[in-house]
Amino acid sequence: MNPVLDVRDLRVEFPTAAGALGVVDGVSFDVGPGETVALVGESGSGKSVSSLAVLGLLGRGRIAGGSVSFRGEEIAGAGPERLRRLRGAEIAMVFQNPMSALDPLFSVGDQVVEAIRVHRPVGRAQARERAVELLREVGLPDPERRMRSYPHELSGGQQQRVGVAMALACDPELLIADEPTTALDVTVEAQILALMRRLQREHGAALLLITHDMSVVARMADRVVVMYAGQVVERGTVAEVLSAPTHPYTRALIGSVPTVHTGRDELLTVIPGSVPNPADVPDGCRFHPRCPQAVERCRTEVPPVVRTGEGRISRCWLAEDAGRVPAPTGAPGTGAR
């Protein structure tokens, strides 16, 4: 089946005083109809920038190379009018902070009604009916009354339920959720993830889920794209990547899954060191200064992208040395679907 979203060799740059700074460097992945693909990596890996590039929301940044194809249509470099129609109606977004999607000055009902009417030629009464139905679908108790609530009167979990309702308002083909549960406590997180999984099945939407948490990947995704320092370092089905990771960074992420006991904020300290600044990426493999398995070659030579199985790739000299064949550049490598 043709992918809903097909990102190939994406490069994104931001202007700086010292010239253009590349923060996303040759990223490729795709998302099939009804499929959930996770982009995972520590903070600063380029996950958000990659997804914002899809929606044409880069601000001062720009797509410096590659392609973004949505249902076969090239949308990298699409005009502002096309991108406006795309956002909300065909591709919807759920953010980490639900308040970034909600306006504190308007009632929940007015905002959901507006989200429906912006893209649909329906009357007010009909949109209102649909809004109540959506709030019920996302599990808000007493939706008729909730329509009149203001965002600040809701808990964080309830706000995110409204965020999900607004994202689903126009039955998008693709939902992009950027750390949708990172701001919530673990119990509420589990509820919101279960809700998203159920609604995605019912609506048949493709889901691009961004997270730093491998346990979220394990619970939610069909395939996973592991990002480090603006590049994809490993990609494959969740079942295969989690049971037999081929990149040391993937192994480190799996080993640093936060538990209820350790608390989620400890994740960043579990892998020693930090993601390099894009202006100062290490020579050779970008992960080598933090890699427990790095050998001399890793410090000086850029590792090739190696095909490690059906639909799987790894950007690591160890995978190459294991006798695997280099993958063609920019190939989606998704034969697993």
Is 211 near Mg ion (CB under 5 A)? no
Closest CB to ligand ADP among residues 165, 175: 175
- DSSP class of residue 182 equals T
Q: Report the nearest approach of Mg ion to the CB of residue 80 (Å).
A: 24
Residue identified by tokens 């933090």 is 290
Is 159 near Mg ion (CB under 5 A)? no
Q: Report the nearest approach of ligand ADP to the CB of residue 58 (Å).
A: 7
Distance CA 30, CA 283 (A): 28
Closest CB to ligand ADP among residues 18, 125: 18
Residue 66 near residue 43, CB atoms below 8 Å: no
Distance CA 320, CA 324 (A): 5
Residue 232 near residue 75, CB atoms below 8 Å: no
Is 50 near Mg ion (CB under 5 A)? no
Task: Report the site for Mg ion in 268-297 (rule: CB under 5 A).
Answer: none
Distance CA 261, CA 298 (A): 35
Neighbours of 116 (CB within 10 A): 23
Closest CB to Mg ion among residues 179, 240: 179
List, as one string, the DSSP characters of 189-237.
HHHHHHHHHHHHHHHT-EEEEEES-HHHHHHH-SEEEEEETTEEEEEEE
Closest CB to Mg ion among residues 48, 160: 48
Q: Tell me which residue has its CB nearest to ligand ADP.
A: 48
Residue 38 near residue 29, CB atoms below 8 Å: no
Distance CA 164, CA 162 (A): 5
The option from Mg ion, ligand ADP, none interacting with 172 (CB < 5 to 8 A, set by class) reads: none
Q: Report the nearest approach of Mg ion to the CB of residue 105 (Å).
A: 27
Closest CB to Mg ion among residues 46, 303: 46
Closest CB to Mg ion among residues 36, 48: 48
Q: Report the nearest approach of ligand ADP to the CB of residue 47 (Å).
A: 3
Tokens of 286: 């970008």
Q: Report the nearest approach of ligand ADP to the CB of residue 170 (Å).
A: 25
The option from ligand ADP, Mg ion, none interacting with 308 (CB < 5 to 8 A, set by class) reads: none
Is 160 near Mg ion (CB under 5 A)? no
Site string for Mg ion, 30-49 (x = CB under 5 A): ------------------x-
CA distances from 264 to 132, 185, 197, 269, 275 (A): 34, 9, 22, 11, 18
Contacting positions for ligand ADP (CB under 6 A) = 14, 23, 41, 43-49, 59, 61, 278
Distance CA 266, CA 307 (A): 33
The option from ligand ADP, Mg ion, none interacting with 46 (CB < 5 to 8 A, set by class) reads: ligand ADP
Closest CB to Mg ion among residues 55, 113: 55
What residue ranges bind Mg ion (CB under 5 A)? 48
